[in-house]
Amino acid sequence: MVKRIFTSFAIEDKTTRDLFVGQARNARVPYELVDMSVKEPWSDSWKTRCRTKIKGCHGVIVLISKHLKNADGAIWEIKCATEEGIPILGVYMKDCNILDVPIELSGIKKVSWTWANIGDFVNGL
């Protein structure tokens, strides 16, 4: 069974997210990445669709960047996944560290961006 993984990220990091997804395809990882990136994340219909997608996933990977703390949509996605009991993994992007982590990821495992680290999370779901 292919596991579905929701990807959450700051919209300013769309290029990094695209690289993340592209590398996943090239690495032929045994999971499908899903996201709900939009320009206006606060509409009720977006929240309803996003919650449905998150609930349909086995886990959530949050891309941690310098922009994440101010990314209202991504913060909402993290809260939603927590409310729904979906396992979350934080993945540090280049030049990011614990100081870039929003409070919503407190107590959540965070790792450097390696396919081994991501694979360990996915395989443990």
Give pLDDT tens digits along the chain (125 positions). Answer: 788 899 999 989 989 888 888 877 776 676 777 766 655 556 778 888 889 999 999 999 999 999 999 999 999 999 999 999 999 999 999 889 999 999 999 999 999 998 889 889 988 99
- Fold held by 3-123: Rossmann fold (3.40.50)
Whether this prediction's pTM lies above 0.75 is answered by: yes
* Contact residues for 64 (Cβ-Cβ < 8 A; gap 6+): 90, 91, 92, 93, 96, 100, 101, 105, 110
Q: Residue ranges of the domains in the chain?
A: 3-123
Give the full edge-to-edge strand order of the sheet including 110-112: 31-34, 3-8, 59-64, 88-92, 110-112
Distances (CA, A) of 8 to 1, 98: 22, 17
pLDDT for 39 equals 54
Beta bridge partners of 111: 91
pLDDT for 25 equals 74
Q: What is the DSSP letter of 40?
A: -
